Structure 1
Amino acid sequence: MPDADRPRELPTRLLTDPEMIEACRVRDFARVFRLLRTRAGIYPSMIARRCELTPSRVGEVIAGRRQLLHMDVIERIADGLRIPGHMLGLARREWETPQALVVVQRGTPQVLEPDQPEAASLPSPEVDGILSLATRTTFSAATLDAFRSSIEDYWRRDDQHGGEALRPAVVGQLRHVVGLLKENRPTSIRNGLYGIAAELTRLTGWTHFDARQYSQARAYFTESLNLAKEIDDRQFMANVLACMSLQATYQDKPADSLALVSAAQDQARSSLGTTPRVLSMLSMREAFAHATLGNRYATHRAIGEAQGHFERIRTGDPDPPWVVYFDEPKLIVDTGIAHGQLGEAATAEPLIADALRREAESNQRSRAFHAFWLARTRLDQGKLDLACHTATWALESASVVSSERVTGHLREFYDRLAPYRQEPVALAFEARLRAVLQPVSGSLRP
């Protein structure tokens, strides 16, 4: 099969386009095929070859003279065009991201962790029975609060130590919550459990993202969206889409990043309860996407919008717990990073330095990230000694956090030192970097 006809993933901006989503939902293949042609460059002849259809049949579908109703044909279309199964009302396809969590439409979600044997992660049937019995007799709104408190603790530990060691505990609790959803419960309790399951799923996706395991992260983020959709929590859906947008910037897909954060903002605006803090965070993610694309005007505009929303924050706003991390130091440091991405190092440096002075010492991963960015902006201005000193300081936080994203940033700084590799200060940084990274990775190279 020619390379152009080989199945490949469709652009995220197309898969998240409301028109494409609706066309797939109602299986309007005339519209699907037209969107593929105009927005992904997949022409009717290519559609025919990939889906094992005749060109004339594809042409008749596009012209509205034929409908495609047979399940085997619909499955060939999903597989040939790489349209995720859930978009067409099908089961997950074999080629899709390894299954991390399956949500049965309007039913009870089920959990599967492919990286570990199921028996090693789940309680025994006897323990499940005891837990189920206890739940039926004692479950209340206070139990939901206990779950939410544990999630907040997970996030604190994630920032202090990284998510790799944390993931088994998070997945274990997710399995337990999914089990609780099998019982008949009052609507308020059931909705609360769906929200908790959605946040645990997002956290699991985040731990994969932090480990640069992007396919697994995307699978969990997608299922987190599905769970939030069950209870129409649009603010949370916006949050998950913002996570996916950030991941796209790491995968060097800035157009996808912008499409995802735009979808996030649409969800947030459609919710009457969206708070200024949520809108500010989303505007800053938009600034990141524009900065990665090199669009200076749009980046500055998005930064201004983020600051404007932040100024409207008032004490007592009903902020969701997952956004309280976005405080003033976070706004300042993200503003500096966006300027740094644009190459505006002189503007970025004092902002990042100020935020670092105000950041909690317990947030080891964040401090490592931000110190890296400070070192980078200083290097971009030719401040070699100060840049290496800052990067060496960043290593102290990096050394106590298990995060491939952190080590990736530090390796990137090392690569930027290439023109100065023989300078004493650069050699000293390299020696310290090797001492920190080699016990884990064995190499300075990604």
Structure 2
Amino acid sequence: MGDKQPNEQLTAWFVRSGWSKGELARQVNRRARQIGAAHISTDTSRVRRWLDGEQPREPIPKILSELFSDRFGSLVPVEDLGLKAVAPLAPGSGVDLPWSGEQTVKLLSDYSRSDLMLNRRGFLGTSLALAAGSALIEPMQRWLAPTPSGQSANGIVSAARGETATGRLSEPELDLLESTVVMFRQWDAQNGGGLRRKAVVGQLHEVTDLLQESYPAATTKRLFQTTAQLAHLAGWMSYDIGMHPSAQKYYVLALHAAKEAGDRSFGALILTDMCRQMIHLNRPGDALELIHLAQYGSRDTATPQQQALMYAMEGRAYANLGDVAKCHRATRHAEDAFDEMGKGDEKHDWLKFFSEAELNAENAHSLRDLCYHTGRSQVYALQAKEPMERAVELFSQDENHRRSYALNLIGMASVHLLQQEPEQAAASAQEAVDIAVKMRSERVNSRLRKTVEAAHREFGSVSQIADLCERVDQSLPEHVQPKAV
């Protein structure tokens, strides 16, 4: 055997992190305990051997990827660390899944059960990895492929193929189940994803049990629609509390269920939120591919309201790519589509969140993001200020979307910082802290911490910023990666 070569890629990320070898070892051990891998015990000499070229055993490559991703606020794949990607420990833990009804139900049942049992078994934390690039985009493109000849889009249940229905679910019970999804969605918007996630996952698992019985075709379709909405909501809540691989898994399974229901509009919403997640993880190229896939797949079904949402997210992707002209074009299309909405357009409960406030918020964040990716901070900060102020004003009057209010107060603070207005930035951020301490949303907390860190770097001597930093340190403890529960 030849001598090992130093791992220059891992060394580069390690040096940039500012961590010592001992600190990295402690973080690896802590994360390992969180995911149930208590057998892992790392020390400084082991870290030194990794830097010298030793390949760590699973699940350490995934843990290192998560730690560096958290440190830098963007996805750092295992391969970028010069390590070998660890193969999933269980079938179906990736995103390239069979597009069949039977498999969709089985995977949803298995995954939701494992999710609920993780406190005892530690399964998901060691087996699940975030997909990106072609590994993500190519499987998602199959959402558009026609159902194989002889199979109905929702024909996995015998009654949908003309046999006798034996399912125990009555229509009033199905109505109640659908209303429960609406209630879960409202709780999430008010309180953040951390408070009701287990309840949503539990309800999802119950629905997959129901799908293994036989019903008339119309009932089967509604059950798959409900399944898709619950899986999407589980993904959204996972994203909100920082569980990105789990969020992506639920999104993918939700897309499969939406295909079984023949619901292209809801499938497009799922892809839109996958786009949002990729923007959050600093993968704007993937985000753009996903939103274009959503737009193409729903071209015959999307209402003006949904078109406006997709254009707004397209603008976010282009802004993070630094493409000024295409960003402006997308935000303009979003405004035009929103103006075309009629009173009857809000026919989907899952789309009601996209209001005038959300439109202004998304477009304002696109303009704000252009500041970071073009170097013309004053120009685009000035353009972002008016729609951000309008979003904050509208959300301040909306008791049902407190998380969105907090996120846009943070956005307003970031705009004030770009305009060299630290006192105003501190005031907006303080209001956001008032909301953050009353909910469980790591997305809100992490954005607050990141904005406050930026304020401290540039305006640490300003008394209002100093007070803000102290309050955030005391009120919002640093994120500990939750178990995938």
Q: Above 0.5 in TM-score? A: yes
One-letter amino acid of the structure 2 residue matched with residue 316 of structure 1: G
Q: CA deviation at 1:317?
A: 2.7
Deviations 1:141-191 (A, max 9, x none): 333322221111111111221112211111111111111111110000000
Task: Give distance in 2, aligned partners of 1:362 and 1:231.
Answer: 29
Taking structure 1 as reference, are residues 441 and 389 closer, same or farther at Cα in structure 2, changes over 3 Å only? farther
Aligned partner of 1:358 among 366, 374, 394: 394
Asked if 1:413 is matched to 2:408, the reply is: no
Task: Give distance in 2, aligned partners of 1:101 and 1:299.
Answer: 31
Task: Give distance in 1, aligned partners of 2:237 and 2:256.
Answer: 19
Q: CA deviation at 1:198?
A: 0.6
> What secondary structure is seen at the aligned counterpart in 2 of 1:304?
helix
Q: CA deviation at 1:376?
A: 0.6
Correspondence 1:333-344 to 2 at 5 A: 333-343=361-371, 344=380
One-letter amino acid of the structure 2 residue matched with residue 211 of structure 1: I
Task: Give distance in 2, aligned partners of 1:238 and 1:315.
Answer: 22
RMSD of Structure 2 on Structure 1 (CA): 3.0
Task: Give distance in 2, aligned partners of 1:423 and 1:405.
Answer: 26
User: 1:245–1:256: 8 Å Cα contact kept in structure 2?
Assistant: yes
User: 2:167–2:215: 8 Å Cα contact kept in structure 1?
Assistant: no
Task: Give distance in 2, aligned partners of 1:328 and 1:292.
Answer: 23
Correspondence 1:4-83 to 2 at 5 A: none
One-letter amino acid of the structure 1 residue matched with residue 334 of structure 2: A
Residue of structure 2 in register with 1:66 after alignment: none
Taking structure 1 as reference, are residues 439 and 248 closer, same or farther at Cα in structure 2, changes over 3 Å only? closer
Taking structure 1 as reference, are residues 362 and 318 closer, same or farther at Cα in structure 2, changes over 3 Å only? closer
Asked if 1:396 is matched to 2:426, the reply is: no
Asked if 1:105 is matched to 2:100, the reply is: yes
Taking structure 1 as reference, are residues 102 and 201 closer, same or farther at Cα in structure 2, changes over 3 Å only? farther
One-letter amino acid of the structure 1 residue matched with residue 386 of structure 2: P
Deviations 1:370-398 (A, max 9, x none): 00000110111011111111111110111
Residue of structure 2 in register with 1:10 after alignment: none
Q: CA deviation at 1:440?
A: 6.9
> What secondary structure is seen at the aligned counterpart in 1 of 2:298?
helix
Taking structure 1 as reference, are residues 382 and 93 closer, same or farther at Cα in structure 2, changes over 3 Å only? closer
Structure 2: 5+ residue stretches without partners: 9-83, 122-164, 372-379
Q: CA deviation at 1:138?
A: 6.6
User: 1:349–1:377: 8 Å Cα contact kept in structure 2?
Assistant: yes
Task: Give distance in 2, aligned partners of 1:382 and 1:280.
Answer: 32
TM-score by length of 2: 0.65
> What secondary structure is seen at the aligned counterpart in 1 of 2:476?
helix
One-letter amino acid of the structure 2 residue matched with residue 353 of structure 1: E
Asked if 1:316 is matched to 2:313, the reply is: no
* Equivalent pairs, count: 342
Taking structure 1 as reference, are residues 100 and 170 closer, same or farther at Cα in structure 2, changes over 3 Å only? farther
Taking structure 1 as reference, are residues 293 and 149 closer, same or farther at Cα in structure 2, changes over 3 Å only? same
Residue of structure 2 in register with 1:290 after alignment: 318
Q: CA deviation at 1:140?
A: 3.4
> What secondary structure is seen at the aligned counterpart in 1 of 2:101?
coil
Asked if 1:139 is matched to 2:166, the reply is: no
Asked if 1:199 is matched to 2:195, the reply is: no
Q: CA deviation at 1:96?
A: 7.3
Task: Give distance in 1, aligned partners of 2:318 and 2:96.
Answer: 32
User: 1:101–1:220: 8 Å Cα contact kept in structure 2?
Assistant: no
Q: Percent identity?
A: 26
> What secondary structure is seen at the aligned counterpart in 1 of 2:353?
coil
Task: Give distance in 2, aligned partners of 1:186 and 1:421.
Answer: 65
Residue of structure 1 in register with 2:277 after alignment: 247
Task: Give distance in 2, aligned partners of 1:354 and 1:308.
Answer: 17
Q: CA deviation at 1:231?
A: 2.3
One-letter amino acid of the structure 2 residue matched with residue 381 of structure 1: Q
TM-score by length of 1: 0.71
Aligned partner of 1:382 among 416, 420, 424: 420
Q: CA deviation at 1:243?
A: 0.8
